Structure 1
Amino acid sequence: MLDPRDLDDLIAIWQAGSLSAAAKRRRVAISTISRRIESLEKALKLRLVDRQAKGTTLTYFGELIAKTAEPIAEQLARVNRLADGLRSEGANLPVRLSATEFVISDILAPALPTLWAQDVDFPVHLQSQADVVSLAARNADIAVRMSRPEGASLIMRKLPSVHLGFFAARSYLDNRAPSEIDLRHERLLVYDDSYGRLPELDWLEEMGLRSSVALRTGSTRGLMTAAISGAGIGLLPVAIAQREKELVAVPTAIAPPPRNPWLIVHRDLRHQPSIRIVHKWVLSTFAALVGGGA
Structure 2
Amino acid sequence: MADNEPNWEWYRSFLQVLETGSLSAAGRALGLTQPTVGRHIDSLEAALGLKLFTRSFDGFAPTDAAQELRPYAAGIAATAAALRRAASSHGSGVRGTVRLTASEVIGVEVLPPILAALHSEHPELVIELMLSNRADDLLHREADIAVRMFQPVQEALVVKRVGGIELGLHAHERYLAARGMPNSMDALSRHAVIGFDHENAYIRRLQEKVPALSRDRFAFRADSDLAQLGAIRAGFGIGICQSALAARDKQLVRVLRSQFSLTMDTWIAMHEDLRASARCAVTFAALAAGLAAYIRAGDQG
The alignment's TM-score, normalised by the length of structure 2, stands at 0.70
SS at match of 2:183: helix
Structure with max Cα Rg = 2
Report the alpha carbon displacement of residue 221 of structure 1 after superposing the two structures with TM. Answer: 3.8
The answer to which of 198-207 and 33-42 deviates more is 33-42
CA RMSD of aligned residues (A): 4.3
Aligned counterpart in structure 1 of residue 46 of structure 2, from 42, 46, 64:
42
Report the alpha carbon displacement of residue 285 of structure 1 after superposing the two structures with TM. Answer: 1.3
Deviations 1:200-251 (A, max 9, x none): 4541355223222112224444323322332110111111112221122111
- Contact 1:102–1:219 (8 Å) recurs in 2: no
Cα 1:9–1:135, aligned 2, differ >3 Å: closer, same or farther?
farther
Instruction: Give runs of aligned pairs for residues 46-195 of structure 1, distance below 5 A.
Output: 46-47=50-51, 59=64, 63=68, 83-85=87-89, 87-90=90-93, 92-112=95-115, 114-115=117-118, 119-130=121-132, 132=134, 134-135=137-138, 139-149=142-152, 151-174=154-177, 176-180=180-184, 182-193=187-198
The alignment's TM-score, normalised by the length of structure 1, stands at 0.71
Once residues 233 and 32 of structure 1 are traced to their aligned partners in structure 2, the CA distance between those partners, rounded to angstroms, is 41
Cα 1:216–1:115, aligned 2, differ >3 Å: closer, same or farther?
same
The residue type equivalent to 1:94 in the other structure is T
Report the alpha carbon displacement of residue 78 of structure 1 after superposing the two structures with TM. Answer: 6.9
Query: In the alignment, what sits opposite 1:281?
Result: 286
The residue type equivalent to 1:207 in the other structure is V
Aligned counterpart in structure 2 of residue 272 of structure 1, from 255, 272, 277:
277
- Contact 2:166–2:298 (8 Å) recurs in 1: no
Query: In the alignment, what sits opposite 2:295?
Result: 290
The residue type equivalent to 2:6 in the other structure is L
Report the alpha carbon displacement of residue 43 of structure 1 after superposing the two structures with TM. Answer: 1.6
- Contact 1:186–1:212 (8 Å) recurs in 2: no
The answer to which of 168-177 and 101-110 deviates more is 168-177
Cα 1:255–1:80, aligned 2, differ >3 Å: closer, same or farther?
same
Report the alpha carbon displacement of residue 41 of structure 1 after superposing the two structures with TM. Answer: 2.4
Once residues 165 and 268 of structure 1 are traced to their aligned partners in structure 2, the CA distance between those partners, rounded to angstroms, is 38
Count of residue pairs brought into register by the alignment: 278
Once residues 226 and 72 of structure 1 are traced to their aligned partners in structure 2, the CA distance between those partners, rounded to angstroms, is 40
Query: In the alignment, what sits opposite 1:16?
Result: none
Query: In the alignment, what sits opposite 2:241?
Result: 236
Report the alpha carbon displacement of residue 187 of structure 1 after superposing the two structures with TM. Answer: 1.3
Deviations 1:43-78 (A, max 9, x none): 21123579999x977746974x67888998887677
Q: Percent identity, please.
A: 26
SS at match of 1:160: strand
Deviations 1:22-52 (A, max 9, x none): x7xxxx9599799666643222112357999
- Contact 1:162–1:237 (8 Å) recurs in 2: yes
Structure 2 residue 261 is the aligned partner of structure 1 residue 259: no
Cα 1:30–1:101, aligned 2, differ >3 Å: closer, same or farther?
farther
Cα 1:82–1:177, aligned 2, differ >3 Å: closer, same or farther?
closer
Report the alpha carbon displacement of residue 9 of structure 1 after superposing the two structures with TM. Answer: 8.4
Structure 2 residue 202 is the aligned partner of structure 1 residue 199: yes
Once residues 72 and 219 of structure 1 are traced to their aligned partners in structure 2, the CA distance between those partners, rounded to angstroms, is 30
SS at match of 1:47: coil
